[in-house]
Structure 1
Amino acid sequence: MPRSSSRHRPATAAAAAACLALVGSALVAQPAVAADDVLDPSTTLYVDWTSSTLEHAAGLDGEERDDALLLASVPTATWFTSGTPAQVQAEVDALVGAAAAQGAVPTVVAYNLPFRDCAQYSAGGARDTAEYAAWIDGVAAGIGDREAIVVLEPDGLGIIPWYTPVGATSPEWCQPAELDPATAAADRFTQLNHAVDALTALPQTAVYLDGTHTGWLSVGDVTDRLIKAGVESADGFFLNASNYQRTERLERYAGWVSDCLALSTSSEPSAEGYEPSMCGSQYFPASPDDLATWDMTDAKFDEDFAATGLVRDRAAQKHAVLDTSRNGQGPWTPPAGVYPDPEDWCNPPDRGLGLLPTTDTGNPVIDALLWIKVPGESDGQCYRGLGGPLDPVRGIQDPPAGQWFPEQAAELLALAEQPLAEPTCAVRVDVRERHGLVRGKLRLTNTGTDTVSGWDLQFALPGDVTVERAWGAQVSQSGLVVTGRAPDHRADLRPGRSHTVGFLARGDLAAEPLLVLLDGEPCRVS
């Protein structure tokens, strides 16, 4: 899976800027496009009942399987990375439709830009601009008029082929020989602008572009790229995708990028001439590693708003979503002088899950904390500049990007900032299909210490399956999700006691139920 690499940090000189000496009456910065009422503190984020984490869990056993199922119970983004326009439309339609049936909002990651990740660990993507535009149109058609969050192209603005930042004299490190240096960067912005236009034309889609993170681009640099990519038509930007920067730093950075966008895109005459390069950042006047200096950048923005006569209004400015999937312990600091290329972004050891996904952030500039990166999936085979095949930090060979990494999943759970509760229920699943007839039994056991009253048991029947009859519970079905409510005569399930829910269904079952929730919390499944 992709990652945002902190090894491509700009020189801090590029972040330096002088204060504006503009004078004007009190004017209000242009309001941002609203997030289409998709995200508010009461929004329910969708748990994907056919997620890649569940696909991995199907091939695991023991504690590794338990870890994967526990992680699968948390709302996590679903990545779309390939396929024809028709294929991706069908896949997105299935996800968004399943979420709508649950009254929840899914997070869709579109990750198919030509030369994504500069053809490194997560190489792939569309062949050219036309193919990408058609693919994005397929994503948009799959969403339609239903609610969705779209994380548009992780690393899409952090790694741009043949791109020369404003103020630089030569292109950045990503220089594919297959691409024309004269047009490659412009093509990337054309691709992203088309994607923004196609997705924001939908009535209930919140769209966010790549804002990198606090250990990478300066505020002014990323703001300039966001503007070129069409952020003025989008809902905002996402930060920290597949990375480890701490939430409190990301919140400060998000506010600064929002401020920089407001100042740089204002149409008020008093702000004429204000450019992103004038914005303060984590690099200047602040020092990136000394949080005590970050107030200096806050003060710099205060001065710039005062000088332009604009009024900061972060509720109306562009907003951000943050990836907290693996940032509970912050970024890894490699030992000095040990590895030629430490690859600190690549499966770093001893990291932990961050804060759980939520739209109730209490911060006017942060629309949501999301799990964008799928925790437990590998970043790639990390050699730290030593040639491999082993990861010298771990002494083992890491799985390829996107494959399950049991050791890392266990670390993330053990060192979580907001620990996931151990299951207090167990379910033995027995599902059999023959000639389109599906018979199933789920034996539920209360393994906790408290009586569970009036319980709900939820599980999914992936595929085209319709429940026709059930016993042991009052059963209803919404899409692929089946809910069994406690019968009146067995409303209480005491510790150590068991109860069986059975059903008869017809259709084509794609996979056995793996994720089972009791009152919204995961059970151990066998």
Structure 2
Amino acid sequence: MTDRVTDAATPRRRLAVALAGVLVLALVAGFGAFLFARSHHLGPWRLGAQEVNPFGQRPQYVDPQSRAAQAAAQATADGDTASAAVFERLAAIPAGIWLTPEQYPPGRVGAYVTEVVTAADAARNVPVLVVYGIPDRDCSGQYSSGGLSEEQYGPWVQEIATAAAAADRVAVVLEPDALAASIECHDEDQRVRLMKDAVGRLRTAGVTTYVDAGHSDWVPAAAVARLLERSGVGSVRGFATNVANYQTDDDERAYATRIAKLLGGAHYVIDSGRNGNGSTKNWCNPARRAVGTDPGFVDDGTGLDAFLWVKPPGESDGDCGGGPPAGEFWPQRALEMARLSGW
């Protein structure tokens, strides 16, 4: 009798042991998946837009409709193969996509941003959008003067933020020169108020944001840090330096390090598009400049997230030094920069 009971219980024990083994394996696999998800910031552990370096996960987006790409197509059509080759090489390097109300006014800018981020997502790239429409824009230089009224500005930024929020990854450089120039233009309070509102809209939409901080040969780091802090930079990813300027990488890194320390450790990006030969103290279309460090992700233990070409090389600073209006492609200068860069 005992033998028959033992024989009957054996399959049950084997089944129990097998089930226990499966359960242990499932628990181990589940715990491993949990650790992997948490360490790679997946699912509920995914980092927010301001907590992660967007350039560390995906390459930067190349705009197929950039002015350099258009210049390459025109040079090809004209039979100028040498120039076309230079412009094609330039067009293949990711650069900032500038949003101005003159080109993309209220009611239209959102559709354009949607077009850009949709294409970038499809390519698994990160687009860099440059928001440039603050009231009394370029008050210190005047070559890019314009912008929106105070009443229009907030809703225009909101339109950008809403469209950009649909992107998997996107980065915004907010208002080049706006804060640094406000000291010279004596409108700090107005600028800070408008910038703080714009920062809030972009943050709420979940858009990684870098607030412009001028450059190393302009306003002292302490003064810019105060303006950045008042504008809410602590609530977004960080700040940008050297946008559309020519200061060297070393000077900008030292300047940005000082600002970051004053802000308690903010992250930053540096525009290296046209600083290969440094600055001549002339910021508007100086001759004999060269392209700088290629755009790309930086992981060196500092606050530097990436080098960017925020201002696309080959585009004019304004109708100064023989150049066309600001933002227009200047073929002769682009070719000169390429030659001096050893292309």
TM-score (norm 2): 0.79
Contact 1:211 1:239 in 2 (8 A): yes
AA aligned to 1:319 is: H
Provide the aligned C-alpha RMSD in A.
1.8
Larger Rg: 2
1:113 aligns with 2:51: no
Secondary structure of the corresponding residue to residue 288 of structure 2: coil
Q: Distance in 1 between matches of 2:160 and 2:148?
A: 14
1:85/1:137 contact within 8 Å kept: no
Structure 1 pair 48/36, CA: closer, same or farther in 2 (3 Å)?
Answer: farther
C-alpha distance after superposition, 1:226-245 (max 9, x if no partner): 11111111211100001111
C-alpha offsets along residues 431-452 of structure 1, whole Å, 9 cap, x if unaligned? Answer: xxxxxxxxxxxxxxxxxxxxxx
Aligned residue in 2 for 1:195 = 198
Partner of 2:138, secondary structure, is helix
Contact between 1:200 and 1:206, CA under 8 Å: does it hold in 2? Answer: yes
| Residue aligning to 1:210 | 212
Counterpart position of 1:68: 87
Match runs of 1:158-307 below 5 Å: 158-160=180-182, 163=183, 172=184, 174=185, 184-203=187-206, 205-262=207-264
Structure 2: give runs of 5+ residues left out of the alignment: 1-47
- 2:70 matched residue in structure 1: 55
Instruction: Give the superposition deviation at 1:370.
Output: 0.2
Cα deviation, residue 400, structure 1: 1.7
Alignment match, 2:157? 136
How many Å separate the matches in 2 of 1:242 and 1:363?
26
Q: Which residue of 1 aligns with 2:99?
A: 80
Matched, 1:414 2:339: yes
The structure, 1 or 2, with the larger RCO (C-alpha pairs under 8 Å, 6+ apart) is 1
Matches of 2:65 and 2:227 in 1, distance apart?
A: 35
Task: Tell me by how many angstroms 1:407 deviates.
Answer: 2.0
Q: Residue 324 of structure 1: which of 259, 268, 272 is its match?
A: 272
Alignment of 1:478-493 (within 5 A): none
Q: What is the Cα deviation at residue 42 of structure 1?
A: 4.2
Q: Quote the Cα distance in structure 1 between the aligned partners of 2:301 and 2:334.
A: 29
In the alignment, the residues of structure 2 paired with residue 399 and residue 347 of structure 1 have an alpha-carbon distance, to the nearest angstrom, of 10
| 1:70 CA drift (Å) | 1.4
**Which has the larger strand fraction?**
1
Q: Per the alignment, in what secondary structure is the counterpart of residue 109 of structure 1?
A: strand
Q: Secondary structure at the match of 1:367?
A: strand
Report the Cα distance in structure 2 between the residues aligned to 1:158 and 1:185, rounded to whole angstroms: 9
- d(CA) in 2 for partners of 1:209 and 1:216? 16
SS in 2 for 1:74: coil
- Does residue 381 of structure 1 match 2:319? yes
- Paired with 1:353 and 1:361, the residues of 2 have a C-alpha distance of 22
Q: Deviations over 1:465-499 (max 9, x none)?
A: xxxxxxxxxxxxxxxxxxxxxxxxxxxxxxxxxxx
Deviations 1:372-395 (A, max 9, x none): 00110111122xxxxxxxx4xxxx
**For each residue in 1:250-289, what CA deviation from the matched residue of structure 2 results, as whole angstroms up to 9, or x when unmatched?**
1111111111111xxxxxxxxxxxxxxxxxxxxxxxxxxx
Q: Secondary structure at the match of 2:84?
A: helix
- Partners of 2:269 and 2:305 within 8 A in 1: yes
Q: Any stretches of 5+ residues in structure 1 without a counterpart?
A: 1-32, 164-171, 176-183, 263-316, 334-343, 383-390, 392-396, 421-526
Which residue, out of 276, 291, 296, partners 1:353?
A: 291
Q: Which structure 1 residue ranges, 4+ long, deviate > 6 Å from structure 2?
A: none
Paired letter, 2:90: L
Is 1:124 matched with 2:126?
no
Match of 1:100, as an amino acid?
Answer: D
**Match of 1:230, as an amino acid?**
G
Q: Which amino acid aligns with 2:97?
A: T
Tell me which protein shows more helix as a share of its residues: 2
**What is the DSSP-based 3-state SS (H/G/I as helix, E as strand, rest coil) of the residue aligned with 1:54?**
helix
Q: Structure 2 CA distance, aligned partners of 1:320 and 1:195?
A: 18
CA distance in 2: counterparts of 1:80 and 1:219, whole angstroms:
27
The equivalent residue for 2:300 is: 362
Separation (CA, whole Å) in 2 of partners of 1:98 and 1:255: 34
Whether contact under 8 Å (2:211, 2:240) holds in the other structure is: yes
Question: Aligned partners of 2:233, 2:56: CA distance in 1, in Å?
Answer: 23
